[in-house]
Chains A and B, each alone.
Chain A
Amino acid sequence: MYRAQTLALKYFAAAITFFGVMAITGLLSSYYYINPDFLFGILPFNIMKILHINTLVIWLLMGFMGSIYWFLPGELGRETVGIRAAEVLFYVFCAAVAVVAVVFIFVQYGGSNEAVLWLINQGRKYVEAPRWAALGIVVVMVVFAYNVIGTAIAARKTTGIITVLMIDLIPLILLYLIAFPAISNMSADLFWWWWLVHLWVEATWEVLIGCIMALALMQLLGTPRRIVEAWLYIEVALVLGTGILGLGHHYFWIGTPGYWLAIGGFFSALEPLPLLGMVVHAVYDAGAQHMKTTNRPALHWMMAEAFGNFIGAGVWGFMITLPQVNLYAHGTQWTVSHGHFAFWGAYACGIISVLYLVLQRTRNLAVVQGQLWKWSFAALNLGLVGMTGALLVSGFVQAFVERAIGGSTLEAFISGQENAWFVDGMVARFLLAIVFTAGYVVLVWDLVTLGRRAPAIAAVSPAQ
């Protein structure tokens, strides 16, 4: 096994750990809606929410990096350049995340001065990590890009997938630089902040997961490279074509010019189109193999990725993307519902699929089998879909009672929060979050014990 693949296993272990932190902080966050006095004076809701969202970003990022470190040596036929630096930075990355989490939990906030930005919290939603940690993430990403690009140069070859990946890494790093706040005008600040949030999630990350899924498909189903690459180009072009200017749907109500209503609405409405193509592609691939594979968990999670992406990002997003509806729906639990479903479908399912694929190799399993993965698959997806449904109900109430009827006054806000449908929705979300967390526990147990509890199975060739 290459050193990069050993590093990949560490990244996967860290990713699945932070996935757990995300699930638990999400579960606790949901409980605040039922019992607002929960942890009163100890840990406020906003800190719990920060931990939930930031660990989401971190675990997915680590999952992406682990996947690339895993596939890269096999793809280019050599050890990764600069692997020593990458190995050191892995521990720095994990330690930094742990320190930031401790600061968030125990320090929580500070005064309005520069030192707080550097040491406690940058104060920007989703990228709250203090400046020193944000700088650390930049260093990690630069070394990661160096690993990929340097290896391709040293190998004196590249493939279509690696070329797309290399091109993608440049905006991935550059966009993160927006995480450092420098603009005091709120509209201007939000304008650029959305470049980071939207273009990471709906552009660079989409390309990244596209590359990872392409590599995984070749290994899982033996799909010929030329086909995988051809479809990667088509799907990346379509996703970028609709996703980049789809950025405009975040510009509706932040003080930007009115033409963003038309641009954002139009391009966002086109976003489900390529996702439908991906779903058809998934059905084709599964059908071509008659759902026969040596790794059923990986195939099922990959299918869940295609379907979840279409439903979570496409359908849920389409409900609220036109300005007329978005006027009332933005910032409500309706949006939260969309966010949960889209992240799960577009990214989380894909990473879990790769985890099973990698474990099949590292544990020399000819066939991945058992019942546990079915339970975790069912509980995680049922919990997630149930949560998004419950959030949708609560979001309807907010959009209707608080926004459309009440006109977004404080009185209307309280009226919406006290509405029986809203309350019931939040209770249902909490209960289904428990199901989701239980699914996570089963998933971890399955991943840890995979191949160790099943009867011995003939070995396959070592990792490529």
Chain B
Amino acid sequence: MPLKRSDFSLKTDKVAGKIMAVLAWLSGLIVVAIAAGLFIKSLPILKSQSLGTLLFSSSWFPLRGQFGFLPFIMGSLWVTGTAMLLAVPLCLLTAIYLAEYAPRLVREGVRPLIDLLAGIPSVVYGLWGILVVVPWVQQAAKWFNAATTGYCVLSAAIVLAVMIFPVIIHMTVEILRAVPWEYREASLSLGATHWQTTKKVVLRKAFPGILAAVVLGLARAFGETMAVLMVAGNVARSPASVWDPAYPLPALIANNYGEMMSIPLYDSAMMLGCLILLGIVLVFNILAKLVLMKAQKALQ
């Protein structure tokens, strides 16, 4: 009977739809589960000490039960900040070149190459850092009369900057190319040069989107672990210059997974470290995403 068969497929359709809806919501809620899991695991240390002491004290003596995260937060800020200073100008210049100036052939040849950079695993970047960047920084420090082993903020920042090139460039090129051609034509027909048009029309129009791209790069750099762990030096003291070693938050977590179960509260402190990291990265990501959505609406 044909009626029964269609009945069956309708029922299948309904059941399948429900199952898929559940799966979709489950995968969407993973991020919530991560935050909740980390929070529950960091409750013991939050109960024993105030959040203020944990965040702003710089005495890190797990054996005595003192967990001040300040040196690690400062380490992360130094490394990420220096990396952004290096990466942002280079990325913007390259992105503007690729989007506005480069001939089509160059653009289509270079963009996949830059995307290739995004695929290289972070340990490989770290290895490159050890083999090339660290000795180079050690040499460079002599010109500045600074003493360093090469395993320092600057090395980590250089490696990180290279890692976020593709993130920022890819997005910025896309945002610049989304600016309607009519704007450029209007400006050029008024007698403005190509650069004047880019500077005063295109960049102004694309500014929020570019900002979002930079913030996404920042979030990526802040959470990056392995490459930084391999070249930053890992000394638990707030750095005072780019030649000092740093111990960023992700490196701390990665380095101490072995002994964290053997010291009381240590594992809880590590999970709090993860929670802080997650919080900072998520705030950046969500802000960037909101700005981007607004910018896209404005461009349409």
The answer on A and B forming one complex is no
